[in-house]
Structure 1
Amino acid sequence: MNKITLELESDTIYVGGEKDCSRTLIRGSVKFDLRTRRRVRCIVVSLIRKEYIEWVSGFGSIKLDHHITYQESQIAEVSIEIDEKNSLLSPGEHLFDFNMWVPDDVDPSILSKYGDIKYTLLAKVYKQRDPLSKGLFGFGALNCTKVKRPLKICRVPFKSVEFFDVINSMSTMAFDLVKTPDLQIRVSAQSRFFTECGSNNKSATLVIKSTKEFKPISIRVRLLEEIKYTENKSPHNCTTLTPIGSYTHNFTESEELLPNEDEDGMHMYQKSGDEASGCEKVALIDESTQNTDITMRNTSKFQLPLPTLVTEPTYEFESGSIAVRHHFECVLKGHFGDDVKKIFSSRIKVVCIPSWAEKFSHALPLYDESMNDILVTDSNSANNALVV
């Protein structure tokens, strides 16, 4: 039985940056494993993009409008012409190599609840016309055999200053879960999260200031991936929020925030003995050094482990009808004074770095804006890009 397959150097390619860059090149071969002789006229290899989006509008489980859009388009194509004298392939293995450039602005592969962007490499093998078999008007039939192979596309701005800033630097964000005259809860954490080097994800800091006794019950920290689809010239849009990492801690009785104060006017967080906990108590806070307009009797500071990314994030981008973003969400449950249980939550935008972007950052040359768009390589900086 004759067999035709598509052979690739890699099932994943990385696009973005300069045109005709080696990183936007698909290298592969069309492989023939023949048991009998076969004539081949030419081989055409195409990169096909398929976009499927399910548009749903309504309230909760009630759907007011629902329709599906499906688009299929050809992104790139390359032909392999075979000479007449070489068109008859003998039994055995035959390889026909090809190189295909991919546009640098192509969208990445996406898989989500309401929509997908998928890519397929399609090889069409056209048989040589059989001179003994005449069709209509004396022309022989032109037969075609199709072979498909899925391909994953990852998009990254290789020559972007912003990309290197994201990979090589680590900034801190701070946001309030609540801020009232009686209670202020603030979270401080890094603004970028890494997949591969999870040990580089530092801990978050939770600061609680209150005028009354505050008894925390639990805290949940999540990293969310948002994929939003917006239909052109239409009010329809669909958004999915998928947790790609989470961490939950339940407080014990010894982790209760009590209205105690030491002799030096420093507010203390009481915890008995060396009781193990996911939250680590850190140095006491001097209220006089805090920039706040709230006068608090109780101040406590926790160190919270950050969640590890358990799902590979999609690199952030916004193009056409699709946008990908990431968020850091914090939800705290607790009793404030004699009140019933309250829930405080907030969400802030962050950047999640997929593992392939981390690995590529080591091999990429550093971009120096002062050198007239010339890429310069700094091996020391590249090797230490993720040391934060």
Structure 2
Amino acid sequence: MAEAEGSGLREQDGGRDEYGQVSMKIATLGRQMRDTREIFSALKSNVDQIMSSLQDGLMLFTRDSRVVLVSAAIEGFLGRSRRELLGRTANEIFSSESSLGSLMLDAFRLRHNVAQREIEASNGRRVQVSLDFIQEKGTQIGALLTMRDAESVRRIEDEIELSRRISASGRVTRGVAHEVKNPINAIVLHLQLLRNKLQDIDPATSRHVDIIDSEIHRLDRVVQILVDFTRPRDLHLEETDLKSVLEEVVLLAAPDAEQHGVTLVRELPPDSIPVKVDADFIKQAILNVVLNGVQSMPNGGNLTIAARRNEDAVITEISDQGTGIPTSVQDKVFELYFTTKKSGSGIGLAQTYQIMMWHYGSVEFDSEEGKGTTFRLRLPLAEVRSTSLEEATAQS
């Protein structure tokens, strides 16, 4: 009897153990499912963020030519929203009436890759297009369409080439400047010794010595400016409100503007404009343009400083009512030492161009003789610049 009762208790304990193990396994499985959902949600969020920030237009197709992934840039190329494109097939998206559509439909029908080529999209933009079919173990499992703005690609390539040339010329210039400064210092020293030895120097000779001294010091300043201009700089990048930088520029330019009878007009948005820059350098770059505009208005007038967001960038526009820049010299405006003013140094606009390049920005202008000039300084917004730097770091 006792043995039977003991046996029954052991069976009950065994049943409870099995029940407990099953409950633990179910709880563990539940946690794993929740973790999986969280990981999937995070991955989806990351992919969506990447797709939104990509400059290239990307479309990922499944085996049956159905869209499963679209970058935000595609909307600009095809004129249709991402929501409208997702889930549709290539036949539903492209039309044989356009050169792009005809090219894509033929490629999907024949299952042939399209090497990168430049074509004209339906909106008139020149676009670089490529299509690559993805294979796994000899079987096509999908396709990736890539679209790039051809003009932007060429502009970036030109800027990279220009930066490479500036860097190379800077190295040569610093070496030459160093060699020039040594004899200049020797000439200054010996000129001073000559002055000391010529105690009773006649006025005519003294005037010639003074001219030599003045010109040697002027040459030394020119060489020093060249050295400073080509020296590599460390940028102290901080997130800054561009509006506050522009307000400071207005305060700094006010005395010159008042002297020339120029009224500074501000057209700034109510919201902050976050940019990640070296505030001192950017302030100097903008101030150079503002003062240049003020000095171009001998009869006074209005100089307008405006700022606006433009997609992933901010554009600062500085418009004067001055004499304008002659068409014949407009391609030399950003060259070091080039100036159309009698008292100009030819450094300001060259410095502005250099500073904007340091910040992955750009500067351009429109000018009409007798009516004035508008300079446009473009800087990436803070969040876009951070993303670009992270991508560059990851690639390097």
TMscore range, shorter length: under 0.3
- TM-score w.r.t. structure 1 length? 0.22
| Relative contact order higher in (CA < 8 Å, ≥ 6 apart) | 1
- TM-score w.r.t. structure 2 length? 0.21
Whose helix proportion is higher, 1 or 2? 2
Whose strand proportion is higher, 1 or 2? 1
Greater CA radius of gyration, 1 or 2?
A: 2
